[in-house]
Amino acid sequence: MCHGVCPRTMEHQGREHKVYLRLHGELKDRFLMIKDYLGLENDTEVCRSIINDYWMKNQDNFQAKPKLKHFHMNPDGLLVLDPEIDRLVQVYLKPDSIKCGYCNLSNCKHTEFALSLPEVKKLLEKKGWKPSS
């Protein structure tokens, strides 16, 4: 019978992490059914198995999304490296507008990224440009 204690240890930022789990009612019943189905005697191993199974099915949701990177300023604006599509994207800067050469939009992740860069803000301020997104 599950006594509701399931210690789980793991390294997290250089420290051991322990989890103590108390289960009652329907959750306890589900846990016992899973334990029986897996043929495991140890509650800790059941928890590990459930965590590993969940991770294998959902790990893509936990992976950090590739970050955009400022690649180069040029006379038309700037190039942004987008690892998600594995290409450089031209963001066009004009006195009253901004436009993404990939998305063909004035408001996308590439233009938002470009407008967030300190060097772009400084350039726009210096030229007196106010592109609307």
Write out pLDDT tens, residues 29-38: 999 999 999 9
Which residue has better confidence, 97 or 131? 97
Asked whether the beta carbons of 83 and 70 are under 8 A apart, the reply is: no
Q: Is the pTM of this model over 0.75?
A: no
Tens digits of per-residue pLDDT, 11-21?
A: 445 677 888 88
Phi, psi of 98 (to 5 degrees): -135, 140
Phi, psi of 29 (to 5 degrees): -60, -40
